[in-house]
Amino acid sequence: MATTELDIDAIRARFTALQGNTAFLDGPGGTQCPDSVIDAIAGYLRDSNANLGGHFGTSRRSDALVAQARLAASSFLWCEPDETFFGANMTTLNFALSRTVGRTLRAGDEIVVTRLDHDGNVSPWLELAHDLDLTVRFVDIHDDTSLDLADLEQHLNERTRVVAFPLASNAVGTVVDARRIVDLAHAAGALAWADGVHYAPHGPIDVTALGVDVLLCSPYKFFGPHLGLAYVRGDLAESWRTYKVRPAHHRFETGTLAHELLAGFVAAVDYMDSIGWDAIRAHERALGERFLGSLPERCTLHGLPSMDGRVPTFAFTVDGVEPGVVAERLGEHDIAVWDGNYYAVEVMDRLGLGEHGAVRAGFVHYNTIAEVDRLVSVLEQM
């Protein structure tokens, strides 16, 4: 039963990976898995490993698992089960989907993306534009990394076909006004195409309430296995001619799925349901406030200065020390962070951080105040 208070010791006891000394502040690149997810993957391979559609036990159990995975996906995204589908990762799915919608586009049509986007929601459109003679327009951000909605409005016109945007930036943690973006896109007659990868471990995603037409996310960012998950609005999906083999079970799934990873995905959704979003968000806000309140003076934060309008993902630089060196020194203290641009090419360039990027520390609900303090302590010594 989910509660509004997080028992951090009980949470961490569910992760063998968290029993060592490493402070995993690398969640934006992928979270650790609870043991229930690992056990589900192994259990499928031991007891149910088969392809679909057979008249025998393991195949029938695999059929049931795929159905269960779609139910779990529909629960997680608040949509119909047949509006969900799986693939290798968000980027692979997005290239496939953008190629599919490309069949409905013509030379001169326009795609709008943002400078907050991960490149997985930029490059598919750039490549499609190259092939079909489309125009890709970039929505700018303010200096504080909030999205410039006035600039978005200026880019919309009768030729706009898709507005692609993130729910949250994987680089600087900024959360966008998704409902406003969707309304603007639809008013222009365009599809609203959302990247939910970075937001997914930090808050609920209700595709119906948001009104998005397409949304993609990655279970390995919310305590599941390496896998991609997508939603396409049902009537929209029916109208598209997709690239697939003719007997495929699902219009967007081109071959046999990684069934064992679907078992892990179901377990990950069950794990998230057992905690509850109120507890997750309250704990993550406390972690973020602790970090922001104790960041050493030599560190420059690139992004919103408070926990309002963001998730607890922080890009920063240390005066006189390259980000790669900072990350290496933190790694020597068993503190896992990232450096570089983390595929957020546009925002890094916009902030003037393109060559070396920044250090990125990200907190999720299994992190502790003590781990935040460890990070700050090493930064102070540096």
| 198 against 252, higher pLDDT | 198
Asked: is 39-273 a CATH 3.90.1150.10 domain? The reply is no
pLDDT at position 3 over 60: no
| pLDDT-derived band at 354, boundaries 50, 70, 90 | confident
Stretch 204-210: mean pLDDT, rounded? 98
pLDDT score of 4 = 65
pLDDT above 90: percentage of residues in the chain: 94
DSSP assignment of 112-154 equals EEETTS-GGGTHHHHHHHHHHT-EEEEE-B-TTS-B-HHHHHH
Q: Is 363:284 a contact under the CB 8 Å cutoff?
A: yes
Buried b (16+ CB within 10 A) or exposed e, 186-218: eebebbbbbbbbbbbbbbebebeebbbbbbbbb
pLDDT tens-place string over residues 104-150? 999 999 999 999 999 999 999 999 999 999 999 999 999 999 999 99
Query: How far is Cα 174 from Cα 76, in angstroms, rounded to an integer?
Result: 22
Query: How far is Cα 345 from Cα 186, in angstroms, rounded to an integer?
Result: 27
Looking at the DSSP bridge assignments, the partners of residue 228 are 87
In the chain, residues under CATH classification 3.90.1150.10 are: 8-25+276-381
pLDDT tens-place string over residues 73-102? 999 999 999 999 999 999 999 999 999 999
pLDDT score of 248 = 62
In the chain, residues under CATH classification 3.40.640.10 are: 39-273
> 381: helix, coil or strand?
helix
Angle at alpha carbon of residue 331, lines to 328 and 334, rounded to 5°: 170
Asked: is 8-25+276-381 a CATH 2.60.40.10 domain? The reply is no
Mean pLDDT computed over every residue of the chain: 96
Query: How far is Cα 272 from Cα 99, in angstroms, rounded to an integer?
Result: 33
| H or E segment to which residue 331 belongs | helix 323-332
pTM: 0.96
Stretch 204-227: mean pLDDT, rounded? 98
pLDDT tens-place string over residues 59-78? 999 999 999 999 999 999 99
| pLDDT-derived band at 247, boundaries 50, 70, 90 | low
| pLDDT-derived band at 1, boundaries 50, 70, 90 | very low
pLDDT above 70: percentage of residues in the chain: 98
